Amino acid sequence: MSVQQRERKEHKRAPLHFRTRITADGREGLPVEAGRYRLVVSLACPWANRLLIARRLFGLEQAIPVAVTDPVQEMIEGDYHWVFSEANGDPDGRDRVLGIHALREAYLAAEPDYTGGVSVPAVVDTTTGHLVSNDFPNLTLDLGSEWRALHRPGAPDLYPAHLREEIDTVAEEVYQEVNCGVYHAGFAQSQEVYDRAVTKLFRRLDLLEQRLSTRRYLVGDRLTEADVRLWVTLIRFDPVYHGHFKCNIRKLAEYPALWGYTRDLFQTPGFGDTIDFEHIQRHYYATHDMINPTRIVAHGPDPALLLTPHGREALGGSPFGPDATAPDPV
């Protein structure tokens, strides 16, 4: 198989086309302003989940309202799209603030000739109805820095300057081989591509198991951006990636450290309270009809297992360290 043929059979994420930044002083696009922007998410999407966790940890729930799409995407003109629906609580199938049915309407409002993909998370300017950004890797970083004046008292620093180099290194490995790795395996269109992707994924999981066997968090002694980026994939692993995406060499629950780490963070305020397993499983099993043509949604595993003791405290460290606090209950 040629390189060109192999690339056509591999899953590739669409480029991030909309990257306007929202900054404290508006120097690079738009200014930070409480209530002006609407964060559009799917509760099923791991990339959107990052923003929901950061928003909770920083206490920005009132400053950045959220719009939640229906978990099952709708076919519009030959493509699946994120939409708002009456079944998901939106009157007349439209977001009650933006007045749109499909997220792509905000994309086209910003750029009428746009023909690329539509993804969540997406930040929309409610004053214009225009999409501002779908740049998920940098949106969480900007919430931690540019929105600092609106943070709650005791908000953590997820990207401390002295740890940034290590955070970036770990996060990039996780992104390439775990966050994207499950999709490379799940959407593979040839045995060769699948074999390569699933092998690389589990090699990285094995290395992460070793790393987390002797430390509670990925970098340092408290939660950082690296943990947020890994956890959103781990929490979806056994419910959908193991079976639906054929990532089944091992279950996450068969990794003592990774499974304990996943439970530890699930029980940490700001993490488990952003998860909706019904949305997660309905989206994956009911939308990807090329993988699951019957659209039957699998049962299990039992989410109550995530509340079992994990014993990770023995490794030292604490979620927010001595100088930050947990967010208030939802």
- pLDDT tens readout for residues 248-263: 999 999 999 999 999 9
pLDDT of residue 103: 98
Q: Which of 37, 107, 159, 183 is catalytic?
A: 183
pLDDT surpassing 70 at residue 269: yes
SS3 205: helix
pLDDT of residue 29: 82
Q: Is 180 a catalytic residue?
A: no
Q: How far apart are CA 310 and CA 18, in angstroms?
A: 40
Q: How far apart are CA 269 and CA 267, in angstroms?
A: 6
Share above pLDDT 70 across residues of the chain, in percent, rounded to a whole number = 95
Q: How far apart are CA 257 and CA 143, in angstroms?
A: 30
Distances in Å between the alpha carbon of 167 and those of 158, 164, 227? 10, 5, 9
Question: What would the mean pLDDT of 265-293 be, rounded to a whole number?
Answer: 97
Share above pLDDT 90 across residues of the chain, in percent, rounded to a whole number = 92
Residues 1-17: pLDDT tens digits? 433 343 345 555 556 78
Q: How far apart are CA 69 and CA 83, in angstroms?
A: 5
Q: Using CA atoms in the order 193, 195, 199, 200, what is the torsion angle rounded to 10 degrees? A: 0
pLDDT mean across residues, the chain: 94
pLDDT of residue 15: 60
pLDDT of residue 17: 86
pLDDT of residue 78: 87
Q: Which of 37, 45, 107, 247 is catalytic?
A: 45
- The number of angstroms, rounded, from the C-alpha of 295 to the middle of its chain's C-alpha atoms is 23
Residues 78-122: pLDDT tens digits? 899 999 999 999 999 999 999 999 999 999 999 999 999 999 999
Cβ burial of 64 (10 Å; 0-12, 13-18, 19+) is buried
Confidence band of 330 (pLDDT split at 50, 70, 90):
confident
pLDDT of residue 152: 98
Residues 159-204: pLDDT tens digits? 999 999 999 999 999 999 999 999 999 999 999 999 999 999 999 9
82 marked among binding-site residues? yes
pLDDT of residue 1: 40
Q: How far apart are CA 153 and CA 222, in angstroms?
A: 18
Q: Is 45 a catalytic residue?
A: yes
pLDDT of residue 144: 98
pLDDT of residue 14: 57
**Residue spans per domain, the chain:** 21-150, 161-315
SS3 130: strand
Q: Which CATH architecture has domain 161-315?
A: Up-down Bundle (1.20)
Q: How far apart are CA 240 and CA 17, in angstroms?
A: 28
Q: Does domain 21-150 have CATH number 3.40.30.10?
A: yes
